[in-house]
Amino acid sequence: MANGLVEYSIEAKPEIKKIFEEAELPTPSFNQLKKNYNKVIDTFKKAIAKAKQSLGDYGASVELKDDYTDINLYLSEDGESGFGIKPNGDIVSVFSSSKEKGRSSYMLEMAISQGGRQLDCFDIYLTKIYETHGFKPVAKMKWDDEYIP
């Protein structure tokens, strides 16, 4: 992805990467994209939209924001997975296409290493994954069909 969109590449700590590799889980390369650059934001949005579509009904659980200004955006080298981190440490728009199974745990470790401290999710299967990385629910809201994605 050396097309002028990348600020720098990021890697997990060697000990974290080793754990994932020994468990035969994917450890894709990620890049932090240039901030507040329209071409970057468009590329990130297209990658999310493509992943959401590939996930079928579960794609609705991925947030595609209208505005990614001032959010650090990260995209895997192959463009199939990514996430954003807001200045307050909120991890947003975590996504991975259906063809790239098993990346969520590694992405969370990458997000934490880049300053991610909190995130929101629908309580489908995501809560259990997030809890394995130290996140704990601090609030739960009753489902309201008015806000269905």
Helix boundaries (H) for the chain: 14-22, 38-54, 104-113, 126-131
Rounded to 10 degrees, the C-alpha dihedral 44/126/88/15 comes to -90
Domain assignment of residue 41, given as a range: 6-147
CATH of the domain at 62: 3.40.630
Residue 1 domain-assigned (yes or no): no
Count how many domains the chain has. 1
Q: What's the pLDDT score for residue 148?
A: 64
Local confidence pLDDT in tens for the 149 residues of the chain: 556 788 889 988 899 899 999 999 889 989 999 987 889 999 999 999 999 888 877 777 788 888 999 999 999 999 999 999 999 999 998 898 877 677 888 888 899 899 988 787 666 666 677 677 677 777 777 767 776 66
Residue 67 domain-assigned (yes or no): yes
Q: What is the DSSP letter of 34?
A: P
Q: What's the pLDDT score for residue 144?
A: 72
Residue 126 domain-assigned (yes or no): yes
